[in-house]
Chains A and B, each alone.
Chain A
């Protein structure tokens, strides 16, 4: 079983829709949970990060972590064509004095005007 599971998509939605992106994981030691956005021909850029369970909101983006279910989500409200990108979840666990980060495979999102 992979440590982090993420559906690669692609996911196509109409402009203005609410998008839900998800990851599941198996390692109970994960402490930090992150979402990166990667545009075509670019490197990943950090969107949001949270520590432990709960919700975090930033503009149109909401990150949600449920440690009891080992499930994290990213919601995008009022999606825009500019949101079309690949979204990678990432999680970190302490390892001998440092935080080891594990990435999901990424979900490709297309928002259609």
Chain B
């Protein structure tokens, strides 16, 4: 059974870069999409973007100018970088897995527990 675990600093200063990693265990990363989602305090879920195991990405247009998602299949992990953060980026950040191909979508079928990142000056 696949397991995902987020890690990274819990506190980031405004205008700096938020960096998180998601470690994947229990299954191969091959043929899956790897996603980031966040939930700000008191708000709903916001989709950030995904990376396919081979490298193609898709980002939320509202964040496209300051987000990068990368993958390292040799280490079974993928990462999120969010640049020039503000207090509005304070949130619980989740990583998740999905599988999509023509006519089929699995939904986000495995999630990490989430990690709280606070952005403060």
- A-B interaction: no
